[in-house]
Amino acid sequence: MELFSNQVLAGLATGAIYACMSLSIVMIYQAIDHLNFAQGEMAMASAFIAWQLIQWGLPYWVAFGLTIGLSFGAGFAIERSLFRPLADAPVLTHVAGFIALFAIVNSGAGMIWGFTIKEFPSPFGNGQFLGSELLSAHQAGMIGATALLLLSLYVFFEFTRVGLAMRAAVSNPESARLVGVNVSWMIGLGWALAAGIGAVAGMFIAPLVFLEPNMMGGILVYGFAGAVLGGLSSPLGAVLGGFMIGVFENLIGTYVPGAGNQLKLPIALFLIIAILRLRPQGLLGRAFVERV
Amino acid sequence: MSVLPDTSIARNDSTSSIGIRTILLRWSRPLALLVLVLLPLAASDFVTFQLTMLLVYAVALIALNVLTGFTGQFSLGQNAFFGIGGYSAVIVVEHFHLSYLLGIPVAGVIAAIAGILFAFPALRLKGVYLALATFALGTTIPQLLKLDYIEQWTGGVQGMMIEKPMTPLGLPLSQDAYLYYLTLTIALGIYILSVNLLHSKTGRAMLAIRENETAAAAMGVDVAYYKTIAFGLSAAFTGVSGALGAIVIQFVSPDAYTIQLAVAIFLGIVIGGVGWLPGTIVGAAFIVFVPNVAESISKGLSGAVFGVLILLVIFVFPRGAQQVCDRLLGVEHKKD
Amino acid sequence: MTALLEVNDLRAQYGAVRVLHGMSFALNEGDVTALLGSNGAGKTTTLRAICNSVSHTGDMVFDGIALRGKSTEAIVKLGIAHVPQGRGTFTKLTVEENLQLGAMVRRNRPDIVSDMDRMYGYFPKLKERRTQQAGTLSGGEQQMLAVARALMLRPRLMLLDEPSFGLAPLIVQSLFDILRKINVEERVTVLVVEQNANLALQISSRAYVVETGCIVLSGNASEIASNEAIRKSYLGC
Ligand SMILES: Nc1ncnc2c1ncn2[C@@H]1O[C@H](COP(=O)(O)OP(=O)(O)OP(=O)(O)O)[C@@H](O)[C@H]1O
Ligand SMILES: [Mg+2]
Residue A88: partners with Cβ closer than 8 Å, 6 or more residues away: none
Q: Indicate if the pLDDT at residue A137 is higher than 90.
A: no
Q: How far is CA C80 from CA C50, C63, C152, C187, in A?
A: 9, 11, 11, 13
Atom 17 of ligand 1, residue of closest alpha carbon? C44
Q: Is A158 a domain residue?
A: yes
Q: Structural domain of residue C118, as residue ranges?
A: 87-154
Q: Least CB-CB distance to A107: which of B127, B132, B301?
A: B301
Q: How far is A268 from chain C (nearest CA, A)?
A: 29
Q: How far is CA B176 from CA A165, B36, B88, B189, B334, in A?
A: 62, 15, 22, 20, 41
At B175-189, the pLDDT tens digits run 888 888 899 999 999
Q: Indicate if the pLDDT at residue A291 is higher than 60.
A: no
3 state SS of B336: coil
- In A, which residues are within 8 Å of C50 by CB distance? none
How does B105-123 read in b/e, with b if 16+ C-beta sit within 10 Å? bbbbbbbbebbbebbeebb
Note the pLDDT of residue B319: 74
What is the rounded average pLDDT for all residues in chain A? 83
Lowest mean pLDDT among A9-13, A231-235, B266-270, C230-234: C230-234
**Same domain? C66 vs C93:** no
CB C48 within 8 A of CB A177: no
Q: How far is A181 from chain C (nearest CA, A)?
A: 6
Please tell me which residue, A179 or B9, carries the higher pLDDT value: A179
What's the one-letter identity of residue B245?
Answer: G
CB C95 within 8 A of CB C132: yes
Strand partners, B325: none
Atom 30 of ligand 1, residue of closest alpha carbon? C40
CB A208 within 8 A of CB A17: yes
Lowest mean pLDDT among A164-168, A210-214, C206-210: A210-214
The tally of domains found in chain A comes to 1
Separation of alpha carbons A141 and A132, rounded Å: 13
Q: How far is B326 from chain A (nearest CA, A)?
A: 19
Please tell me which residue, A78 or B13, carries the higher pLDDT value: A78
> How far out from the chain centre does Cα C167 lie?
16
Residue ranges per domain, chain B?
45-165+173-258
Q: Indicate if the pLDDT at residue C174 is higher than 90.
A: no
Which of residues C138, C154, C170 is at a domain's end?
A: C154
- How is residue C133 annotated by DSSP? B
B100-122 and B127-146 helices, crossing angle to 10°: 130
Q: Structural domain of residue A202, as residue ranges?
A: 12-216
What's the one-letter identity of residue A239?
Answer: V
Q: Say yes or no: B157 contacts chain A, CB-CB below 8 A.
A: no
What's the one-letter identity of residue B107?
Answer: A
- In A, which residues are within 8 Å of B131 by CB distance? 35, 91, 95
Q: Say yes or no: B302 contacts chain A, CB-CB below 8 A.
A: yes
Interchain contact, A34 vs B74, CB within 8 Å = no
Separation of alpha carbons C84 and A176, rounded Å: 11
3-state helix, strand, coil in chain B (%, to 5): 80, 0, 20
Q: Indicate if the pLDDT at residue C25 is higher than 60.
A: yes
Give C171-220 as a DSSP string: HHHHHHHHHHHHHHHS--EEEEEES-HHHHHHH-SEEEEEETTEEEEEEE
| Confidence at C190, pLDDT banded by 50, 70, 90 | very high
Q: Indicate if the pLDDT at residue B3 is higher than 60.
A: no
Q: How far is CA A29 from CA A224, A235, A280, B24, in A?
A: 11, 10, 15, 45
Touch test A–B: 3 Cβ pairs or more under 8 Å: yes
CB A139 within 8 A of CB A13: yes
**Same domain? C58 vs C171:** yes
- In A, which residues are within 8 Å of B266 by CB distance? 95-96, 99
At C77-98, the pLDDT tens digits run 999 999 998 888 998 889 999 9
Note the pLDDT of residue A280: 66
| Confidence at A289, pLDDT banded by 50, 70, 90 | very low
Residue A222: how many CA atoms within 13 Å on its side-chain side?
A: 26
Q: Indicate if the pLDDT at residue A128 is higher than 80.
A: no
Q: Indicate if the pLDDT at residue B5 is higher than 50.
A: no
A161-171 and A137-159 helices, crossing angle to 10°: 80
At A203-217, the pLDDT tens digits run 988 888 888 888 887
Atom 4 of ligand 1, residue of closest alpha carbon? C14
CB C155 within 8 A of CB C173: no
Q: Least CB-CB distance to C101: which of A179, A182, A233?
A: A179
CB A12 within 8 A of CB A246: yes
Note the pLDDT of residue B295: 73
Q: How far is CA B34 from CA A208, B30, B176, B281, B288, in A?
A: 57, 6, 19, 14, 21
CB C32 within 8 A of CB C193: no
* Burial grade of B292 (CB within 10 A; 0-12, 13-18, 19 or more): exposed
| Confidence at A100, pLDDT banded by 50, 70, 90 | confident
Mean pLDDT of the B226-237 span: 91
User: Please, what is the end-to-end C-alpha distance for chain B in angstroms?
Assistant: 34
Which of residues C128, C154, C180 is at a domain's end?
A: C154
Q: Indicate if the pLDDT at residue B325 is higher than 90.
A: no
Separation of alpha carbons C133 and C145, rounded Å: 12
Note the pLDDT of residue A91: 76
Residue B164: partners with Cβ closer than 8 Å, 6 or more residues away: B175, B179, B247, B250
Q: Is A225 a domain residue?
A: no
Separation of alpha carbons C196 and B255, rounded Å: 67
Mean pLDDT of the B67-79 span: 86
Q: Are strands C80-83 and C206-211 parallel, antiparallel or unpaired?
A: unpaired
Separation of alpha carbons B272 and B322, rounded Å: 6
**Same domain? C54 vs C92:** no
Question: What angle (nearest 5°) sits at the alpha carbon of residue A69, between those of residues A65 and A70?
Answer: 115
Separation of alpha carbons B38 and B51, rounded Å: 12
| Confidence at A292, pLDDT banded by 50, 70, 90 | very low
**CA B293 – ligand 2 centroid, Å:** 54
Please tell me which residue, A159 or B151, carries the higher pLDDT value: A159
Mutate to test the interface with B, among A273, A281, A291 (most CBs of B within 10 A): A273
What is the rounded average pLDDT for all residues in chain B? 81
Give B17-70 as a DSSP string: HHTHHHHHHHHHHHHHHHHHHHHHHHS-HHHHHHHHHHHHHHHHHHHHIIIIII
Find the residues whose C-beta lies inside 6 A of ligand 1: C 14, 17, 19, 37, 39-45, 85
Atom 29 of ligand 1, residue of closest alpha carbon? C40
Q: Is A275 a domain residue?
A: no
Note the pLDDT of residue B238: 96
Mean pLDDT of the A23-33 span: 80
Q: Which has the closest alpha carbon to A214: A97, A110, A78, A74? A: A110
Q: Indicate if the pLDDT at residue B332 is higher than 70.
A: no
* Burial grade of A118 (CB within 10 A; 0-12, 13-18, 19 or more): middle
Q: What percent of chain A has pLDDT over 70?
A: 89
Note the pLDDT of residue A278: 74
Q: Which has the closest alpha carbon to A207: A8, A20, A39, A75? A: A20
Return the HEC string of chain A. CHHHHHHHHHHHHHHHHHHHHHHHHHHHHHHHCCCCCCHHHHHHHHHHHHHHHHHCCCCHHHHHHHHHHHHHHHHHHHHHHHHCCCCCCCHHHHHHHHHHHHHHHHHHHHHHHCCCCECCCCCCCCCEHHHCCCCEHHHHHHHHHHHHHHHHHHHHHHHCHHHHHHHHHHHCHHHHHHCCCCHHHHHHHHHHHHHHHHHHHHHHHHHHHCECCCCCHHHHHHHHHHHHHHCCCCHHHHHHHHHHHHHHHHHHHHHCCCCCCCCHHHHHHHHHHHHHHHCCCCCCCCCCCCCC
Note the pLDDT of residue A286: 60
- In A, which residues are within 8 Å of B306 by CB distance? 100, 103, 107
Separation of alpha carbons A128 and A140, rounded Å: 9
**Same domain? C72 vs C98:** no
The CA dihedral of A17, A18, A20, A22, to the nearest 10 degrees, is 170
CB B196 within 8 A of CB B189: no
Mean pLDDT of the A33-49 span: 88
Question: From the CA of C35, which ligand is nearest?
Answer: 1
Separation of alpha carbons C50 and A10, rounded Å: 60
CB B323 within 8 A of CB B317: yes
3 state SS of B273: coil
**CA C40 – ligand 1 centroid, Å:** 5
Q: How far is B218 from chain A (nearest CA, A)?
A: 11
Question: What angle (nearest 5°) sits at the alpha carbon of residue B124, between those of residues B123 and B128?
Answer: 95
Please tell me which residue, C166 or C66, carries the higher pLDDT value: C66
| Confidence at B18, pLDDT banded by 50, 70, 90 | low
Q: How far is CA B40 from CA B165, B247, B271, B285, B287, in A?
A: 18, 18, 25, 16, 19
Provide the whole-model pTM. Answer: 0.79
**Same domain? C138 vs C161:** no
| Confidence at B19, pLDDT banded by 50, 70, 90 | low
Maximum pairwise Cα distance, chain C: 52
At A221-275, the pLDDT tens digits run 888 888 888 887 788 888 888 888 888 888 877 777 666 666 766 776 677 777 7
Q: Which has the closest alpha carbon to A232: A49, A44, A34? A: A34
